[in-house]
Structure 1
């Protein structure tokens, strides 16, 4: 079957591995990448002439079907199918970007914490495979799987603990939790409420709303005070918006009545992130300015990048935080701690302490999981 054959990935190719590509997020994300990444190639300033999507899933039949379906789309982006039967190694070998939507989805009444034990095991196994098969000095790893607040610490600490070759690779600067959906929701909901209030937005414009902290409930801090969008929100409207952004995932889970969670909107948010990294690695841009959930200290317990040392005391020493970053091909190069300094009194005095308190518990949960896991052999 032509679609299941892994093509030779040459030096002039950029390879993106999607782990969990047959799932609700994975299928939609793979479709967006297959359909749209061709436009990044047209702008490329480097010698890369081809983009390849390596699609992996534990469900062999499903991933073969998804890959065959995508392979019929008329773009020059190639695809290959991978499952445990053929080994994850072929999927990860030479990958420049690894995107992970793999895991069990959330169901009604289920919190992100309920997902933790199953998904932490999956993330640990995938982290081991990445450490064994990828160039840790170059690869970017984007974690979509929930609960992000705990699973990114699992991924980072598991690799650093169990794979000695990672210690000097800088991989901790290139493992990032994708919290873009919170930003997408904040922008969408703010625009909607402005229209409902009789304010007409500029044509084809969307608000830019920073969202920091974590990626669940009250760990999500939408900074509407820093939005560039004209707004005359009263206190009730602001409280409504904050709550809706923080619990937007519950809204989708309830609407799907037990048959799924936020897959389409998450795939859209994930695509917006992946395309930035593709553009960076193709040389179309020199750096990324975006918000991701990252460790604030490196493998040697030093601040991950300039700005992290200023941010740490502002977030009471929380080891991981979603914050606007500058990212180069080597990973996080600057942490925009001043975003926290620009918070208004309500955000700083009411929202931030609650966020940090809960976030620390989430982080500790991930670190404790890794500490209790046997060392890989």
Structure 2
């Protein structure tokens, strides 16, 4: 019987705590290990009062706590990152990237040294750049495996499916096996929801498709404004991340057909080369079918797209090229100077 240990890094944050609660209740997680620099131990004790057979532990000391959390971890989920309240201070994408990289860089380094074969899921933003950044850090330690590094973009899929369900006469139509693939990247200008390929596409007018696409792309801004710019999408991000983690766990335990859209290095995964060559990028969010070792194969999402969606993919690729380059270059240059400026919390 496969036993799975999931480690959440940044478990004291809003997303981390909400995610940890859902993972505590999952029958597919056998051990839950929580880490951040302030609250993880308290979160673990709190969750331990919820009845479950699963082992749960939490640590906050980076000196020995992180090593205990990562040892024998099968899946590492990184939710650590700058607070949404600090986003206004970032004038450019590079500012946000560097701040996030300073926080997750040491975590990636620790994964490479302590659990080199773990599956790493990056929730922290900007995903489009942080995944290439992480890939470069793992390459430095000769531990990069494209099948085991994911950028979590499931929130885009969840939003697309939710907004589509609201357009349908009955939710049962959504439950009948219709999922919306959202490809590209994890930002408003790079995500491409493929509404033209859903099972009920014939029931949607072109105006409704345009409305659904726009709503999906600005979903994060909608939440930010609704919270008076004092918070972002935390609960929905936690739910979407949980959905992906659980599907990966189920695949690790031998269940077939588990898949999700995720931001990956396509050439390192079966079926990914064709798409990489077609769009001219190595990193892209695509539907991936999971296997016990991580990504089993990429499912080609670009056949049969509408002309509008094809145009959106072209525009997405232009921006993603910049994001990927920023992340890769920072990953190659990342060193002791940035580590010294790491914040006291994650």
TM-score (norm 1): 0.82
Q: Does 1:290 align with 2:260?
A: yes
Cα deviation for residue 245 of structure 1 reads 0.6
Task: Please name the residue that 1:180 is paired with.
Answer: 154
Q: What is the aligned counterpart of 2:288 among 318, 325, 332?
A: 325
Cα deviation for residue 112 of structure 1 reads 8.6
Cα deviation for residue 78 of structure 1 reads 1.9
Query: Residue deviations 1:160-181, cap 9 Å, x none?
Result: 02x13x2xxx623200011111
Distance verdict in 2 for CA 1:321–1:352, change over 3 Å: same
Cα deviation for residue 344 of structure 1 reads 1.2
Q: Distance in 1 between matches of 2:205 and 2:257?
A: 37
Cα deviation for residue 265 of structure 1 reads 0.5
**Structure 1 residue runs without a partner (length 5+):** 1-10, 42-50, 297-302
Task: Please name the residue that 1:79 is paired with.
Answer: 56
Q: How does 1:1-377 map to 2 (within 5 A)?
A: 13-35=3-25, 37-38=26-27, 40=28, 51-59=30-38, 62-84=39-61, 86-107=64-85, 113=93, 114-134=95-115, 136-137=116-117, 139-161=118-140, 163-164=141-142, 166=143, 171-194=145-168, 199-202=169-172, 205=175, 207-229=178-200, 232-283=203-254, 285-286=255-256, 288-296=258-266, 303-316=267-280, 318-337=281-300, 339-348=301-310, 350-374=311-335
Distance verdict in 2 for CA 1:240–1:111, change over 3 Å: farther
Cα deviation for residue 87 of structure 1 reads 2.9
Distance verdict in 2 for CA 1:15–1:131, change over 3 Å: same
Cα deviation for residue 374 of structure 1 reads 2.9
Q: Distance in 1 between matches of 2:22 and 2:251?
A: 18
Task: Please name the residue that 2:342 is paired with.
Answer: none
Query: Residue deviations 1:281-322, cap 9 Å, x none?
Result: 233x146322111012xxxxxx31332221122212x12001
Query: Residue deviations 1:255-291, cap 9 Å, x none?
Result: 11132111100111111111112212233x1463221
Q: Distance in 1 between matches of 2:72 and 2:304?
A: 41
Contact 1:123 1:154 in 2 (8 A): no
Q: Distance in 2 between matches of 1:268 and 1:98?
A: 16
TM-score (norm 2): 0.89
Question: Number of paired residues?
Answer: 333
Greater relative CO, 1 or 2 (CA 8 Å, sep 6+) = 2
- SS of equivalent residue, structure 2 residue 146: helix
**Structure 2 residue runs without a partner (length 5+):** 340-346
Q: Distance in 2 between matches of 1:68 and 1:324?
A: 36
Q: Distance in 1 between matches of 2:220 and 2:232?
A: 7
State which drifts further: 216-225 or 238-247. 238-247
- SS of equivalent residue, structure 1 residue 341: coil
- SS of equivalent residue, structure 2 residue 165: helix
Structure ID, larger Rg:
1
Q: Distance in 2 between matches of 1:71 and 1:189?
A: 35
Q: C-alpha root-mean-square deviation of aligned residues, in Å?
A: 2.3
